[in-house]
């Protein structure tokens, strides 16, 4: 399955599942990244880490390893 790490700048997707466990999964959920949430990838830092997202109307930056634990569906250009 595609993960949030694979989504390119300017694309949007929907969170399908969280594969992380324990504290990592809880932290991701606390940031608003829950199943069914629409996410837009705004920017990627010059060295590729972190990734800046728009989630629920606010800007959020997460590391690539965190993004790899978020499975997504419905990847589409723009939003």
Q: In what order do the strands lie in the sheet with 11-18?
A: 58-62, 51-55, 38-44, 11-18, 70-77
What are the structure tokens assigned to 45, written together?
């830092």
Q: Over the chain, what is the mean pLDDT?
A: 91
Distance CA 61, CA 32 (A): 12
Q: Read off the pTM.
A: 0.88
Domains and CATH numbers, the chain: 4-77 (2.30.30.90)
pLDDT (0 to 100) of residue 79: 60
pLDDT (0 to 100) of residue 1: 83
Greatest Cα pair distance, the chain, in angstroms, is: 32
29-74 pLDDT, tens digit each = 999 999 999 999 999 998 888 999 999 999 999 999 999 999 999 8
């Amino acid at each position: 399955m595609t993960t949030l790490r694979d989504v390119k700048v300017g694309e949007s997707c929907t969170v399908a599942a969280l594969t992380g466990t324990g504290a990592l999964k809880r932290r991701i959920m606390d940031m608003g990244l829950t199943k069914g949430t629409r996410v837009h990838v705004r920017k990627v830092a010059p060295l590729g880490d972190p990734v800046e997202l728009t989630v629920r109307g606010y800007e959020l930056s997460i590391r690539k390893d965190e993004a790899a634990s978020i499975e997504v569906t419905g990847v589409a250009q723009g939003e």
